[in-house]
Amino acid sequence: MIRNSASEMASKLASGEVTSVALTQAHLDQISAVDKDVHAFLHVDTEGALSQAAAVDAKRKSGEKLSRLAGVPLALKDVMTQKGIPTTCGSKILEGWRPPYDSTVVTNLKKNGIVILGKTNMDEFAMGSSTENSAYGPTHNPWDLTRIPGGSGGGSAAALAAFEAPLAIGTDTGGSIRQPAAVTGTVGVKPTYGGVSRYGLVAFSSSLDQAGPCARTVLDAALLHEAIAGYDPKDSTSINAPVPAVVVAAKAGNVKGMKIGVVKELNGDGYQKGVRTRFEESLELLAAAGAEIVEVSAPNFEYALAAYYLIAPSECSSNLARFDAMRYGLRVGDNDGASAESVMNLTREVGFGREVKRRIILGTYALSSGYYDAYYGSAQKVRTLITQDFNKAFEKADVLVSPTCPTTAFKIGEKTNDPLAMYLNDIATIPVNMAGIGGMSLPSGVAGEDGLPVGFQIMSPVMKDDRMYSVGASLEAALLSKWGAPLLSTIPALAGSK
């Protein structure tokens, strides 16, 4: 039952074949069985999940009209506030904090009757590409427990791959939904910036952060996308327009006549052989399905990583200033005679991990007087150039594609001492955030050399998110008919797994 897709589960719930309580319990059992090895969850809300499930079952029994995903369980990235449920963002500084309010995403999930199982592990404040930066220990990739599950949303992606949840919420600032999806063989979508409300998403980099759906199929992602997206007056950067018809697109999966642009700069040197092979194969399948493959160039993408590592740290240095031990969270050094300033300094020393501190200091520098123009200012100009590159490319193609990441999952600990090498993981995903457009990663098979999953990235223009679902669903169908079974059916069994 837990290996079904969310839409299959939804059908079984609708037909009465299974209750939400039973389905939720099955997932809680799976979590109990495997999460000691995977460590996808930071908090499991057993009681809350079962009571939400029971409420959905009762409504269904009373004949109330329910939304499509009502009763289906979901794992929530620990960066989203949920009233009364611990929200740590993977940081010591928020240990034990229980928000007194729901994020808009959680409000929407609750409105749709989606059952929230618990909170998933992540790199501290979403800063990282491996979930090794969590203050609560790393998450392990269910494909190979010695490897990273990607990051920052490694917990959400691993929970899907380990069948601990059929749906999950992620957030993506530079690839934190797509890169974990790629290395765990799951589907992850970063909607257009402003498509999903950021209210209650603990900010890392406000102008880049975007919440989105994580799932095991393109259709499941689309269903979740529709459930959480839409205008929110509490977020001034939310787009006041109808949600793109992503479910319709995912159901049709039609690419006939579409122009698919291959971004020349996001391939080649630095990309693992197996990654390139799977990418070429996917392009052939899409061409066979009726798409026209064209090549596009985005010459300024090579500056995207540098600009990202100025903009995101700058914004984070300001966003994370509120963690100061005064109103909530950790407080260290509050001894007799200690000043507020020294308590702030000590708390932030102890409460933040190394990567977070590194970025706060970098951002503080990039914004400081005398350096602003050279760093933050220049990075914003690069942002303009990247957007212009996308605009030109979208004149030639309906969507753009690339491998999601240069490599498959690396070993835990392999890159922790080399920040620059770690940052390179996001080289293909970052441009999407810089321009605020949509991006999706879906599995395109495993690399021949290591047997680990490879992601295929699709990028669509602002508020044309439906296009990436069309292409994603088409490719997914072609791959499924080629393989005969979903990629995740080949994942090695975890000890104790059902």
Contact at 8 Å (CB) between 301 and 341? no
Contact at 8 Å (CB) between 385 and 300? yes
Asked if 340 touches other proteins (CB under 8 A), the answer is yes
Going by their DSSP bridges, the two strands 211-215 and 453-460 should be labelled as unpaired
Only segment of 57-65, 175-183, 325-333, 477-485 that touches other proteins (CB under 8 A): 325-333
| Closest CB to other proteins among residues 24, 210 | 210
Site for other proteins in 38-97 (CB under 8 A): 80-81, 87, 89, 94, 97
Containing 20, the helix (H) or strand (E) segment is helix 20-38
Q: Out of 381, 392, 396, 411, which residue is the one contacting other proteins (CB under 8 A)?
A: 381
Catalytic, out of 156, 176, 402, 470:
176
What residue type is assigned to position 405 of the chain?
A: C
| Closest CB to other proteins among residues 94, 452 | 94
Is position 152 annotated as part of the catalytic site?
yes
Asked if 181 touches other proteins (CB under 8 A), the answer is no
Q: Out of 201, 218, 249, 422, which residue is the one contacting other proteins (CB under 8 A)?
A: 201
Is position 62 annotated as part of the catalytic site?
no
Q: Out of 11, 277, 342, 416, which residue is the one contacting other proteins (CB under 8 A)?
A: 342
Asked if 231 touches other proteins (CB under 8 A), the answer is no
Q: Out of 177, 196, 202, 262, which residue is the one contacting other proteins (CB under 8 A)?
A: 202
How far apart are the C-alpha atoms of 289 and 251, rounded to whole Å? 15
| Closest CB to other proteins among residues 269, 341 | 341
Contact at 8 Å (CB) between 285 and 251? no
How far apart are the C-alpha atoms of 152 and 180, rounded to whole Å? 7
ω into 152 cis (within 30 of 0): yes
Taking CB under 8 A as the rule, which mask of x and - marks residues 385-424 in contact with other proteins?
x-x-------------------------------xx----
Distant-in-sequence contacts of 416-424, Cβ < 8 A, 24+ apart: 416/130, 416/132, 419/355, 419/358, 422/128, 422/129, 422/130, 423/129, 423/305, 423/309, 424/270, 424/305
Site for other proteins in 263-322 (CB under 8 A): 300, 303, 305-307, 309-310, 314-315, 317-318, 321-322
Is position 130 annotated as part of the catalytic site?
no
Containing 460, the helix (H) or strand (E) segment is strand 453-460
Asked if 156 touches other proteins (CB under 8 A), the answer is no
| Closest CB to other proteins among residues 288, 340 | 340
Contact at 8 Å (CB) between 392 and 299? no
Asked if 110 touches other proteins (CB under 8 A), the answer is no
Site for other proteins in 443-462 (CB under 8 A): 462
| Closest CB to other proteins among residues 97, 281 | 97
Q: Out of 157, 158, 239, 468, which residue is the one contacting other proteins (CB under 8 A)?
A: 239
Triad 494, 442, 384: Cα angle to 5°: 130
Closest CA to 416 of 363, 360, 354: 354
DSSP SS3 for 215 = strand
What are 264's two structure tokens? 């020349």
Asked if 234 touches other proteins (CB under 8 A), the answer is yes
Tell me the catalytic residues.
77, 152, 176
